[in-house]
Structure 1
Amino acid sequence: MDLESLVNAHQQQFSQTEREILAFMLNNEQFVADSTITSLAHRTFTSTSSIIRLTKKLGFTGFAELKYFVKNSLAEAAPVNTDFIASGARDINKTLSDLTQRDLTEVVEKIHRARTVYCFGTGYAQRNAVQEFAKSMVACGKFTHVIPAKNEFIGSVQAMGEQDVVILVSLSGSTESVMETVRTLSLRKVPMIAITGAGINPMSHLADFSLHYETTPTRLPGHKTPYHSFVALTVLLDYLTRQYIKFLEEGNS
């Protein structure tokens, strides 16, 4: 558990002043981990007694225990990628290298034979990527439908059949909020192509075909959650599009 989760678990207990202190703390966790109680009181325009009362509401014996908790939470966060620029090139090159060693004939044939190609991305960046991929497929004469959100994905299952194909784009391949729907598609024998970050995951395990892209995480200043670039995902989808165009140029119909 991190500080944000802890605050959310106790959010009904705080006064307006305590909420303002917490807002500062959540936006400046490194400062909290390094500061004294007097420094924190000064930065939040409050008193040390206010800070102590707040720490006890959070379940700590005092400010020292809170500091220790925040420091450990930050240490467990995603590491800073000290070679961030070069890692982007490595992600692209590794993704392309893996793709060029695979025979994608069955994948593009499955797309070509499908009555409808359904595309679903589990996150904002993934949905943007599949939007561009879908435009390319439509330009190639392939009827493609992008599912815009999770609820629509769940609601579309009844319309999907064995003559369709569903392209799932995810980072982890284990987004629990959609896995029940993925399992349902598998039981209904709806063909699926999973495109996920590298590694074995539940989504790729259930899919008929699995493709992977590289993305080296880093931690941005002031953030604990990792930042992922999806440039290699875009490269993968572009490569798949080019393979499909090549398939058509070779006279397949």
Structure 2
Amino acid sequence: MFLDERLNKNFDKLNDNDLHIAQFINTHIHACKSMKIQELAAHTHASNASIHRFTKKLGFDGYSDFKSYLKFETEQVQQLPSDSIEGFQQEIKNTFAYLERIDYTLITDKLLEADTIYLYGTGLAQLNVAQEAQRVLLTIHKNIIVLHDVHELKMILNKSTPQDLFFIISLSGESYQIPEITNALQLKQQYFISVTTLKDNNLAQKANYNVYVSSNTFYLHDGTDYSSFISYHIFFETVVRKFNERIEFGTL
């Protein structure tokens, strides 16, 4: 979506009302290009001031600047590559190749030892991955908690135990809040595993263990850049299967 990069960068500044506004805009992107602030406020059940504050949080000078951005971005139309299916197939193939290199013994041992498992996503899409991972990991009968922002993470760290395990999920591993997250975890000497795309990044460097997955970004016909997170889901599904295999064979 057109706003995803801005939303991810400023995620910690946004409240539930802001996310509702963002969802409406992403769903009605072309209509919003010509909407007055009063019209958008009416559609999102917000005040004009709330809309203005929302645009400021995303780094715009105001609503007019925001509308100009929408118009410019939607006009930068890039065609969907003809080899997008081939690229997607290669992404899946690469993911399984990377997954073969993971130390599942280490990860499943950590899962077994953990009092509580915490999942944190550095943006909206990553948060969705964390929520789905929570559903999957509940099958191992552990306490699984999704953290929604850095402030929540810091609050949890004040009462976490050394046995707790943290998964930090990120696309690039380089978002602005990464140093704050890793510093907080390291200060508490808390074990954490990073899950990022395959490239050198700050999060992976700081993690106790890093998992790499493949994520292919391409452009839709309307110019929207789309990053697939299916490889992240495959990783957590694989972890659960490896955990249960070890239980069945008596090696865990």
TM over 0.5: yes
Alignment pair present for 1:239 and 2:238: yes
Q: Which residue of 2 aligns with 1:23?
A: 67
Contact 2:78 2:219 in 1 (8 A): yes
Contact 1:81 1:217 in 2 (8 A): no
Query: SS state of the match for residue 129, structure 1?
Result: helix
Q: Which residue of 2 aligns with 1:166?
A: 166
Letter matched to residue 71 of structure 2: N
| Rounded Cα–Cα distance in structure 1 between residues aligned with 2:93 and 2:86 | 11
> Residues 10 and 227 (structure 1 numbering): CA distance in 2 closer, same or farther, change over 3 Å?
closer
Contact 1:134 1:146 in 2 (8 A): yes
> Residues 219 and 241 (structure 1 numbering): CA distance in 2 closer, same or farther, change over 3 Å?
same
Which residues in structure 2 correspond to 1:130-209 (within 5 Å)? 130-209=130-209
Letter matched to residue 11 of structure 1: D
Q: Which residue of 1 aligns with 2:96?
A: 96
> Residues 106 and 29 (structure 1 numbering): CA distance in 2 closer, same or farther, change over 3 Å?
closer
Query: SS state of the match for residue 215, structure 1?
Result: coil
Query: SS state of the match for residue 190, structure 1?
Result: coil
How far did residue 182 of structure 1 move?
1.6
How far did residue 135 of structure 1 move?
2.0
The sequence identity of aligned pairs, in percent, is 22
> Residues 188 and 29 (structure 1 numbering): CA distance in 2 closer, same or farther, change over 3 Å?
closer
Which residues in structure 2 correspond to 1:31-50 (within 5 Å)? none
Q: Which runs of 4+ in 1 moved over 3 A?
A: 7-12, 22-26, 28-31, 77-82, 221-224
Instruction: Point out the more displaced range, 151-160 or 234-243.
Output: 151-160
How far did residue 161 of structure 1 move?
3.1
Letter matched to residue 240 of structure 2: T
Contact 1:161 1:189 in 2 (8 A): no
User: What is the alpha-carbon root mean square deviation over aligned residues?
Assistant: 3.0
Alignment pair present for 1:11 and 2:57: no
| Rounded Cα–Cα distance in structure 2 between residues aligned with 1:148 and 1:79 | 34
> Residues 223 and 188 (structure 1 numbering): CA distance in 2 closer, same or farther, change over 3 Å?
same
> Residues 79 and 94 (structure 1 numbering): CA distance in 2 closer, same or farther, change over 3 Å?
farther
Letter matched to residue 174 of structure 1: E
Contact 1:121 1:170 in 2 (8 A): yes
Contact 1:121 1:169 in 2 (8 A): yes
| Rounded Cα–Cα distance in structure 1 between residues aligned with 2:60 and 2:177 | 25
Q: Which residue of 2 aligns with 1:62?
A: none
Q: Which residue of 2 aligns with 1:47?
A: none
Contact 2:116 2:143 in 1 (8 A): yes
Consecutive unaligned residues in structure 2, runs of 5 or more: 1-5, 7-54
Aligned length: 197
Query: SS state of the match for residue 111, structure 2?
Result: helix
> Residues 29 and 116 (structure 1 numbering): CA distance in 2 closer, same or farther, change over 3 Å?
closer
| Rounded Cα–Cα distance in structure 1 between residues aligned with 2:167 and 2:92 | 21
Residues 46-73 of structure 1, C-alpha deviations (whole Å, 9 max, x = no match): xxxxxxxxxxxxxxxxxxxxxxxxxxxx
| Rounded Cα–Cα distance in structure 1 between residues aligned with 2:247 and 2:105 | 11
> Residues 135 and 10 (structure 1 numbering): CA distance in 2 closer, same or farther, change over 3 Å?
closer
Q: Which residue of 1 aligns with 2:86?
A: 86
Contact 1:78 1:218 in 2 (8 A): no
Q: Which residue of 2 aligns with 1:71?
A: none
How far did residue 10 of structure 1 move?
8.0
